[in-house]
Structure 1
């Protein structure tokens, strides 16, 4: 007798799953090759830097002479092909790392310019475009400018040629992932073109990359092509679902030193900062990141293919290149969107008994519905979904520590949303 995870599913859905599994197999094999390449690079760096048990010993207090922390930052710098890194549990989130980097580079009267259009909600709060919370850039006299994207979601280079010439612009930012926008996430190839454009017209500015959701999603990273500083979260790709908090910055040595002084204090800079009990998780998370990111990408390829088979509008398509771990599914109506999100919560390992209810969350303009039955609060390398309750009622699904979990949860979400018992 052969047991199957598809038992108790409607026959029509079982047939769709079989069709999808066959169709996406070549794409899954491509992800496997990507994982092998990135995993080898990580393994080679662990060997090069002689990582040993002593590097996992935590520091306390000031955190001076933390050899494990310093070695891990050297590994990050090597992996991303930059001078230096700041990999710390003291960062509360990826947004905190982004804010730290931007404030360290900008002064009153300077302008922060986004080449990729208006950033997502939480960064708008940092800038002062929304929320009007104390301490934002607007309050500090730091200006903001952007060139909005074209209707097709691509950079408007013609208008950007004029906008970027403002001499007050000191930092040009590029947002890799889509946030709550309707555009596609930008591949590294497209970011490479953006970096070349910026260097041609404004070689004097610092190029900042918001790389959240992007690490290990391709075999190249934006820093390979001249980005000056880049941020990411440790409870997204680079932490592999193992790290319980923190974020990182990688980039040019002087910029990392400046960010270190912003995170701690001038003088001590990145020389301070205890790691408590985090080092084992941070090393193991980075070691597992290539594999776990690949698992998440496989889950999102399956999600795209099955939802498309159900007649839904998805982006990216299952066959499209992947540059992050995010999949969007457009419902056109709030009810099925909320129902689908709830099903993901119900097929999560944590808090499966909870019903997601749309609510106003700090940092967001509209009510947001969110499913996150994760072991680490807010972890989006673990399977989760969220979206603002506004047209076109699009759900942003991301993560999955294992392809198997994502496959089961998404299948059940399709069943619970579109098939009546």
Structure 2
């Protein structure tokens, strides 16, 4: 069966799933519209200010809108965040103090956080350099949270538990909102003062609630992923308990400045518009994920999540089994991207990552993984991770070509 026929078969098989996604998009869009209406968002909020960024009405209202949508007390949405990793680091450095322990409950963290924590690299000002210790609970052999170990994991000096919602570059199920709620319950049962922080990258609007709506104290993410709606140029966010958000803001800017500074460089309109578009964009990405899972499962490759499984983020992993197939897959995705289709992805080192990466990223926003892209570390078992997608039909077109490329490798 050729790629076109296989993709068409997948589209037919997934018609009911696509309808369910549309229904969830409608619910998520409803809460976005409610927040915009409640805070009386108007065109005057698109204007920005210069210099210090004091009294930026649009920025202040966007923070309140974002917080309401996320079910949080407060939020900071800032173009000054370089990436999701930067936002996460600001939250961790803002809240943790020397002598505190940081506990990861979902196994090893994402590659780019290893140097932040101090697992890798030296003398770069990591958390370890500042006397903050780190411990992690390993996943079970099935890649699941070890609930038994979690029930007794909190020590007196465990200041913060970090929860990575997405699978990242690991072959495990991403966490559902119900999973996160359960983790928070177990942690608070042992010590109500231990903070629960969620790396929310790739997870926004995938379900109908966010981590801060189910008890997480703090969370962070990137605006060139889900909540930027594929049009925000740069930035990230932190949301949660108001005092903790302000502590993180003081790390981003300076003590005494906190959330009250930071010019928005005339980006307010895009920030508001991107957030409005986000539920729809996430829905399209989820459809593309389902399509990819179905097709490559039919071809006999391991996929995570499996076909028809509930989506918990906008990442679809495919275990291709060889570096040649990874490179061929990414080369084809690049060829069917709107930007840089003439480029040839080759494995290369990237700051913050341990292994060489091969990446297909022909996106309008550089590095945007809310647009359709694919990448992965060049290490066994050679898994490629597909993310995002502005519309599932683009994913379908690229998949048809990728199937042919894989078969000829």
Give the TM-score, by structure 2 length: 0.98
Count of residue correspondences: 409
Q: Is the 8 A contact 2:3 2:399 kept in 1?
A: no
* Aligned pair partner of 1:245 in 234, 243, 256: 234
User: C-alpha distance in 1, partners of 2:383/2:28?
Assistant: 31
User: C-alpha distance in 2, partners of 1:109/1:273?
Assistant: 31
Give runs of aligned pairs for residues 189-200 of structure 1, distance below 5 A. 189-200=178-189
The residue matched to 2:130 in structure 1 has which SS? Answer: coil
The residue matched to 2:161 in structure 1 has which SS? Answer: strand
Task: Answer yes or no: is 1:379 the counterpart of 2:379.
Answer: no
* Aligned pair partner of 1:13 in 3, 28, 41: 3
Give runs of aligned pairs for residues 391-402 of structure 1, distance below 5 A. 391-402=380-391
Q: Is the 8 A contact 2:4 2:400 kept in 1?
A: no
Unaligned runs of 5+ in 2: none
Q: Is the 8 A contact 1:110 1:143 kept in 2?
A: yes
Equivalence for 2:96: 106
Q: State the superposition RMSD in angstroms.
A: 1.2
Equivalence for 1:332: 321
Once the two structures are superposed, what CA deviation does each residue of 1:127-180 show, in whole Å capped at 9, x if it has no partner? 01012251111111111011111111111122233332x211101110000111
User: C-alpha distance in 1, partners of 2:377/2:15?
Assistant: 32
Please report how far the alpha carbon of residue 14 of structure 1 lies from its aligned counterpart in structure 2 after TM superposition.
3.2
Give runs of aligned pairs for residues 9-408 of structure 1, distance below 5 A. 12-132=2-122, 134-164=124-154, 166-408=155-397
The residue matched to 1:163 in structure 2 has which SS? Answer: coil
Please report how far the alpha carbon of residue 419 of structure 1 lies from its aligned counterpart in structure 2 after TM superposition.
5.0
Please report how far the alpha carbon of residue 388 of structure 1 lies from its aligned counterpart in structure 2 after TM superposition.
0.9
The residue matched to 2:376 in structure 1 has which SS? Answer: strand
Equivalence for 1:3: none
Please report how far the alpha carbon of residue 298 of structure 1 lies from its aligned counterpart in structure 2 after TM superposition.
0.6
User: C-alpha distance in 1, partners of 2:51/2:385?
Assistant: 40
Q: Is the 8 A contact 2:7 2:396 kept in 1?
A: no
Q: Is the 8 A contact 2:152 2:190 kept in 1?
A: no
Please report how far the alpha carbon of residue 95 of structure 1 lies from its aligned counterpart in structure 2 after TM superposition.
0.4
The residue matched to 2:162 in structure 1 has which SS? Answer: strand
User: C-alpha distance in 2, partners of 1:304/1:287?
Assistant: 28
The runs of at least 4 aligned residues of structure 1 exceeding 6 Å deviation read: none
Q: Is the 8 A contact 1:106 1:170 kept in 2?
A: yes
Q: Is the 8 A contact 1:24 1:318 kept in 2?
A: no
